[in-house]
Amino acid sequence: MYLLGKDAAELEELASSLGERAFRGRQLYRWLYVKEADGFAEMNDLAKGFRKRLSEKVMISPVRVDDVSRSAGGSVKLLFALPDGNRVEGVLIPDGERLTACLSSQVGCVIGCRFCATGRMGFIRNLSAAEIVGQFIAMNKAVRMKISNVVMMGMGEPLLNRRELFKAAGLITDPDGLGISRRRFSVSTVGWVPGIEAMRASGLRLKLTVSLNGTTDGQRRKLMPLAARFPLADVLHAAKEYASHTRQRLTFTYLLLAGINDSPVDARRLIKLVSRIPSKINLMEYNEIGGEFRRSDDIVTEDFQEILRSAGLTATLRKSRGLEIGAACGQLAGRYAPGSGRVLKAIY
């Protein structure tokens, strides 16, 4: 059993089960999520007997850093080993005074996006809240700069693991704990409608990012097979409802692929799709992983962006970071070969 991933009430219950008063659990919470303790020995306001019983019954984190890669631009990719022998990757992205942690939610991914290394790998399993929080804390210790932002954009579709995701998000954004602002915690989805609805009902008020990557249902079916279970109209309705409920502006990401979805016609269709939703658009450069797709030409990308801006939309181009260490968007695969996991369309 691992302590990370447990909330204050669960830690109070644990303390009571070990013969201590409940408030010891709150002290334990502070050691885990404020001081980010590595071991029980440093928890010096807890009785030695309690610490001994803890060490016999539980461990702190299920996550171990197996490898660290650093890019010339400052991005850092970490390979995490998990207790069952599986592994995931996460990325730290510096940008001025901001440091963003990109966390994984699954080992692999079931969606099957054809342009993504994780999607080509297939699905192995969901991560626990302990494993999601464990990534964050391991990243916080990997660099001197404090993490300011979190994006659930690593391996996996976060909203297909929403119970563990929401629990981890609650812990990471707890002002009495790890303290990341909910306005700086973003969940990225391919448009998994039940997950967006559950996120709205959760009351967490996290930031929502929706990956469109196509302006017709036909395009999305070809690019993101399982995401096409939900038509664009349903995805956009759920996104609009989320924006209305939380009073937040959404982010739509749009991956530009040469000759596939980067024409002026696509740009004008995109305008019609999102113009009535409070949002901004992040245009993304394709990070090639080998295969059929190519990055859009710079002139084509600039023209696409200008069409959006001329229509009054906020459209920014997100430059690739960490490309040379395989840390850019769509490149995370935990060193698994394509086809290592399963395609579990029937499950979802």
Contact 318, 283 (CB under 8 A): yes
Verify whether residue 109 is a known catalytic residue: no
Q: Are 152 and 103 in contact (CB under 8 A)?
A: yes
Q: Given this model, what pLDDT does residue 330 score?
A: 53
Q: Which of 109, 113, 116, 329 is catalytic?
A: 329
- Say what the pLDDT of residue 338 is: 66
Domains contained in the chain, number:
2
If phi > 0 it is left, if psi is from -120 to 50 it is alpha, else beta; for residue 122 that is: left
Q: Which domain holds residue 99?
A: 64-325
* Rounded CA separation 285/318 (Å): 7
Whether residues 208 and 311 fall in one domain: yes
Q: pTM of the predicted model, to two decimals?
A: 0.93
Residues 141, 282, single domain; the answer is yes
**Tens-digit pLDDT profile for residues 6-29:** 999 999 999 999 999 999 999 999
Does residue 88 form part of some domain? Answer: yes
User: Which among 37, 135, 34, 32 has a CA at the least distance from the CA of 92?
Assistant: 135
Give domain status of residue 340, yes or no.
no
**Residue 20 designated active-site:** no
CA distance between the termini of the chain: 28
User: Does one domain contain both 17 and 89?
Assistant: no
- Shared domain for 131 and 272, answered yes or no, is yes
Alpha helices by DSSP H, 157-215: 162-172, 193-202
- When pLDDT is averaged across residues 236-254 and rounded to a whole number, the result is 97
Q: What percent of the chain has pLDDT over 70?
A: 92
Q: Note whether 244 and 199 are within 8 A (CB).
A: no
Whole-number Cα distances in Å, 336 to 13, 28, 165, 190, 223: 39, 36, 23, 22, 21
110 and 42 fall within a common domain: no
Residues 263 and 311 in one domain: yes
Q: Which pLDDT tens digit goes with each residue over 94-143? A: 988 899 999 999 999 999 888 887 878 889 999 999 999 999 999 999 88
Same domain, 31 and 97: no
* Nearby residues of 308 by Cβ (< 8 Å), 6 or more positions away: 267, 270, 271, 281, 283, 315
Domain assignment present for 331: no
What pLDDT, in 10s, does the model give residues 184-201?
999 999 999 999 999 999
Q: How far apart are CA 68 and CA 90, in angstroms?
A: 10
176 and 263 both lie in a single domain:
yes
Catalytic residue among 89, 157, 164, 285: 89
Do 184 and 52 have their domain in common?
no
Whichever domain contains 16, its CATH number is 1.10.150.530
